[in-house]
Structure 1
Amino acid sequence: MSAPVAVVTGASRGAGRGIARALGDLGATVYLTGRSASVADVAGEVDAGGGHGIGVVCDHRDDAAVAALFARVGEEQGRLDVLVNNAIALPSGLGDDQPFWERPLEHQSMFDVGLRSSYAAAWHAARLLIEARGLLVNTSSFGGGCYMHGPAYGAAKAGVDRLAHDFAVDLEPHGVTAISLWMGILRTERTLAALEADPDRYGDLAARTESVDFPGRVVAALWQHPERIRWSGQTVVAAELAVELGVTDVDGGQPPSHRPVLGGPPAVNPAIVR
């Protein structure tokens, strides 16, 4: 299999950064977006792993900037093998224990950069993905199936899960795989700061976290799987898919699935109404 051409949105830190690096390890050309020039640093990390990183400063609230991103990919590469919709506008105070009406109204920003941005990126990418019979991944979390961080976060995550399912319906005749990937508790800067600030609240949670590179390893392995289409339309738990694909974390460990505590992805009725 030739090295893929990929777009990873929201890749300046966290899971997006890890996913870009993991695809770079396959020798991929990775266009990675972020709102600041720090994406150039991540592009350098992709280069160091054997890929070709191209940092693109892009605000996914800006439709013109998103259109220009995918036009550039088409002009420079002529195809797109992998799209990972990871960008989301996570507001401050997301983990505060408050009812939604006491949270800032800016929490609705996740509907814009998170839900809407995933649709817009997929819309621009679809024809390129079809040419390559590619892979589309929406990153998500267990918040798509249980109460987590308030109604806005839950609705945004449930929304991208449903987008992946319905993208798959339209893309199936063209051989494109579309999934939503429920990540676990990632060791992001935000998570590590919360664990350090209130260790009594979170207990032994740190032992159940996974590296920011782990979801990327899962995405990379899925891309390489010759029968990846069989997962299309599904919302899958990264830790569970990792076991199927033989993927471990950077330390060689197997991160746990949080299904026993937080539940699994809700079922979607198979009916299709045109």
Structure 2
Amino acid sequence: MSEQLKDKVALVAGATRGAGRGIAVELGAAGATVYVTGRSTRARRSEYDRPETIEDTADLVTEAGGTGIAVPTDHLDPAQVRALVDRIDGEQGRLDVLVNDIWGGETLFDWEAPVWEHDLDKGLRLLRLAVETHAITSHHALPLMLRTPGGLVVEMTDGTADYNRDTYRVSFFYDLAKSSVLRMAFALGHELGPRGATAVALTPGWLRSEMMLDHFKVREDNWRDALTDVPHFAISETPRYVGRAVAALAADPDVARYNGTSLSSGGLAREYGFTDLDGSRPDAWRYLVEVQDAGRPADVTGYR
């Protein structure tokens, strides 16, 4: 992917950690200039109170071969998003790739509580963070993108359209949030397609994010130790895997064939031929249906 995105400008909204960070780094590895945003900075942490920062992400983008630019932004604040886009316009004069990866809801939903027992304030904030942020960012960023033909919008979610249509995603608020993002990509496809741009929804599989590794009390170098307690974690993938999916989409001159559709990291790996960092090619969503949800013993043979 080296230099395939040279002279391209990307905005990864929500790039502090996890999938957003992995996407930003892989876009950088392909030569792009990448603006990375979030609320966790070296000067101030968000309510997550975690150590990852957008400045760290920007440094990783630059180390990978691109140009990383960190811009602290609360995507619930239209004025901050407008200022962000004005800055990109003033410094670059274009925007080729927009990745809407804002989330921030891990501490807000209760897996076990039905909607009438769930904390209402937390549930409504989750929806604002998961849905409203994406709408605000698209509203302000898309006019800049549409100045140059061939732009790409990637709406990051959890689950494919097929999987989420047939599967209850454990919590009313979580289910609604992730399904709404899938629908956003579909709607944007109708609005952007006739104007020369492409919108897709994209899901990673079971992501070995910083927060997930901490949850299982493992590190990336010993993540398989978690399989003793959670055998199906064997299908998991690094954030760089879905990052490679976005980089491949952004470099594809025929990406419009995917306009308005739902994609997965594993499916795109088969299409474009990339692998995860360890050389494997996990296909988590096929595994979930055929193995985990089917109640079969954990076995990733043929799935990675």
Q: Same fold (TM over 0.5)?
A: yes
Partner Cα separation in structure 1 for residue 137 and residue 89 of structure 2: 13
Task: Output the amino acid matched with 1:129.
Answer: M
- Residue 243 in 1 paired to residue 270 in 2? yes
1:252 aligns with 2:279: yes
Matching residue's letter, 1:248: T
What displacement does 1:196 show?
Answer: 4.1
Which one of 114, 135, 149 corresponds to residue 152 of structure 2? 135
Matched, 1:152 2:173: yes
Partner of 2:26: 22
Unaligned stretches of 5+ in structure 2?
Answer: 42-52, 219-225, 291-304
C-alpha displacement of 1:190: 2.3
SS of 1:101 mapped into structure 2 = coil
| 8 Å contact from structure 1 (residues 22, 220) kept in 2 | yes
- For residues 170 and 211 of structure 2, the distance between their equivalents in structure 1, rounded to whole angstroms, comes to 14
> What is the TM-score when the length of structure 1 is the normalising length?
0.89
1:33 matched to 2:37? The reply is: yes
1:50 corresponds in structure 2 to 65
Are 2:91 and 1:76 aligned?
A: yes
Task: Measure how far apart 1:144 and its partner are.
Answer: 3.9
Q: Structure 1, residues 129-148: CA drift from partner, whole Å, max 9, x if none? A: 21222100000112743222
| Aligned mate of 1:64, from 76, 79, 100 | 79
Change (3 A) 1:44 1:94: same
Matches within 5 A, 1:1-274: 2-37=6-41, 38-92=53-107, 94=109, 96-105=111-120, 106-132=122-148, 133-142=150-159, 144-145=164-165, 146-196=167-217, 203-259=230-286, 261-262=288-289
- TM-superposed CA distance for 1:113, in Å, is 1.5
1:171-208 per-residue CA deviation (whole Å, 9 max, x = no partner) reads 112220100002211001222233349x6996312211
Contact residue 94 and residue 149 of structure 1 kept, 8 A: no
Question: Contact (CA 8 Å) 1:144, 1:161: kept in 2 or not?
Answer: no
Q: What is the one-letter code of the residue matched to 1:165?
A: F
Counterpart contact for 2:227–2:234, Cα < 8 Å? no
TM-score, normalisation: structure 2: 0.81
| Residues 15, 216 of structure 1: 8 Å contact kept | yes
- Aligned-partner SS, 1:102: coil
Distance, in Å, in 1 between the alignment partners of 2:186 and 2:97 is 17
- Which sits farther off after the overlay, 29-38 or 254-263? 254-263
What CA distance in whole angstroms lies between the structure 2 residues aligned with 1:34 and 1:55?
8
Segments of structure 1 that go 5 or more residues without pairing to the other structure are 264-274
**Does the Cα contact within 8 Å between 1:187 and 1:211 map onto a contact in 2?**
yes
Shift of 1:165: 0.8
Q: CA deviation at 1:261?
A: 3.5
Report the CA distance between 1:98 and its aligned residue.
2.9
- Give the stretch that moved more between structures: 151-160 or 87-96: 87-96
- For the residues of structure 1 that align with 2:243 and 2:264, how far apart are their CA atoms? 13
Residue by residue over 1:219-265, the C-alpha shift from the partner in whole angstroms, topping out at 9 and shown as x without a partner, is: 001111110000011011221122101121111100123245459xx
Q: Distance in 2 between matches of 1:219 and 1:95?
A: 30
Q: Distance in 1 between matches of 2:125 and 2:289?
A: 25
Q: Distance in 2 between matches of 1:119 and 1:245?
A: 29
Tell me the alpha carbon deviations over residues 58-79 of structure 1, each in whole angstroms, 9 at most, x when there is no partner: 1111111011111111111110
Indicate conservation of the 8 Å contact 1:240/1:257, yes or no. Answer: no
Structure-2 change in CA distance of 1:14 and 1:260 (3 Å): closer
Q: AA paired with 2:78?
A: D
Tell me if structure 1 keeps the 8 A contact 2:28–2:67: yes
